[in-house]
Amino acid sequence: MTILLAPMEGLLDFVLRDVLTRVGGIDRCVSEFIRITDQLLPERVFTRIVPELLNGGRTFAGVPVRAQLLGSDPVCLAENAARLAALGPAGIDLNFGCPANVVNRHGGGAALLKEPETIFAIVKAVRAAVPAGMPVSAKMRLGYNDDSNALECAQAIADGGAGELVVHARTKAQAYRPPAYWERIADIRAVVNIPVVANGEIWTVDDARRCREASGCDMLMIGRGAVADPGLGLAIKADMAGLSHAASGVTWPLLLPLVADFWHIVCTRLDTRARAGRLKQWLNFLRRRFPEAEVAYQCLKTINDPTVIDEWLALQLQDLATTKRHAGLSRSAAVM
């Protein structure tokens, strides 16, 4: 069972990739997209969006990261892919699925699903531009307004030379509204000769099980589900191995130090005005799974002063340490 961590612009960036891959259960990541328009980008742009390029193409936990490109010009994408490949990512991924209107208006992301011939040209050009040993993959949705071009687009990606395809089982028009149509991924698997990864609406172990059955995929990509439950990858793998996934879950006492680490990275790497919002954004997801995150969110939702947040987190960690110390003393007393 292979679990990939999804790219999500404005949410799942290098900060969360760092923290979530420390938890475990993630085999590979894909970065948020690097937009390519009409110029060859300097190396600093690639390393700013994917700082893992400065760490051998891996997160600090050692999980490989593929860098994702988004654009519609095959020649410009190929030139940038060649420069990017020289920086040593774990692979290059091509975005044919972003539903954002600002991206689609400029012919990128999911808008390309209306043009299978352009998709083919992009993949072929990028594949030819990078070293043979550099993996090239792609991510697509089922279509733009409908899924009538799904098989043709998937075939274009495979024929262009991609070695792997991630399918988000919704159209652009369906955005992120449930359900995800996992059975259509099985239809795509039947017409391409490359590995296919199922993606979309996987929030729980049960979702993963049903997605695997409907799609036939042994590879899953999780995004918002992992943000809300950082232990989801571990739990899915435990379930697929016939083990108790409840025992592999991540508890709040284990997660709280990672929340503090997340905040530290945010304060070190991001603009001051964005810091508190990033923490509250993650807590907003975590409260779907952890009652303690709901308490934290309510305490911090009106606070933007980093100093106050520092103090609040320090107090939480101190209380956690006290609780663990008392629990350890209680166990020692019980043994005696």
Residue 229's pLDDT is: 97
Dist. CA 234–CA 312, nearest whole Å: 29
- Residue 190 is classified by DSSP as T
CA distance 4 to 25: 9
Report pLDDT digits (tens) over 273-308.
889 999 999 999 999 999 999 999 999 999 999 999
pLDDT at site 334: 53
9, exposed or middle or buried, with CB in 10 Å at 0-12, 13-18, 19+?
Answer: middle
Mean pLDDT of 179-184: 98
Query: Cα–Cα distance between 17 and 37 in angstroms, integer?
Result: 26
Contacts of 205-209 with C-beta under 8 Å, sequence gap 24+, read 205/232, 205/235, 205/236, 205/239, 205/245, 208/232, 208/236, 208/239, 208/240, 209/239, 209/240
**Catalytic-role residue among 98, 153, 211, 217:** 98
Residue of 63, 27, 28, 6 lying closest to 227 (CA atoms): 6
> What CATH code would you report for 252-335?
1.20.225
For residues 262-282, average pLDDT: 93
Beta-carbon-side half-sphere exposure of residue 256 (alpha carbons within 13 Å): 20
pLDDT band at 1 (very low <50, low <70, confident <90, very high): confident
For residues 284 and 228, the answer to whether their CB atoms sit within 8 Å is: no
- Residue 48, both tokens: 């700013």
Does the pLDDT value for residue 3 go beyond 80? yes
Looking at the DSSP bridge assignments, the partners of residue 69 are 34, 94
Chain mean pLDDT for the chain: 94
45 Cβ contact partners less than 8 Å away, ≥ 6 residues apart: 34
Alpha helix (H) residue ranges in the chain? 14-23, 43-49, 74-85, 101-104, 116-129, 150-160, 183-189, 205-215, 224-228, 232-240, 252-269, 272-286, 291-300, 306-335
State yes or no: is 153 an active-site residue.
no
Q: Report pLDDT digits (tens) over 192-225.
A: 999 999 999 999 999 999 999 999 999 999 999 9
Res. 249: pLDDT tops 80: no
Q: So where are the chain's domains?
A: 2-240, 252-335
Same fold, 2-240 and 252-335: no
State the Cα–Cα distance between residues 242 and 26, nearest whole angstrom.
Answer: 18
* Whole-angstrom distance, CA of residue 263 vs CA of residue 314: 11
Provide the 10 A C-beta neighbour count for residue 101.
Answer: 11
Q: What are 119's two structure tokens? A: 């998709």
User: For the domain 2-240, what is the CATH superfamily, name and number?
Assistant: Aldolase class I (3.20.20.70)
**Does the structure show a pLDDT above 60 at 108?**
yes
Q: Residue 223: count other Cβ atoms within 10 Å of its Cβ.
A: 22
* pLDDT at position 241: 87
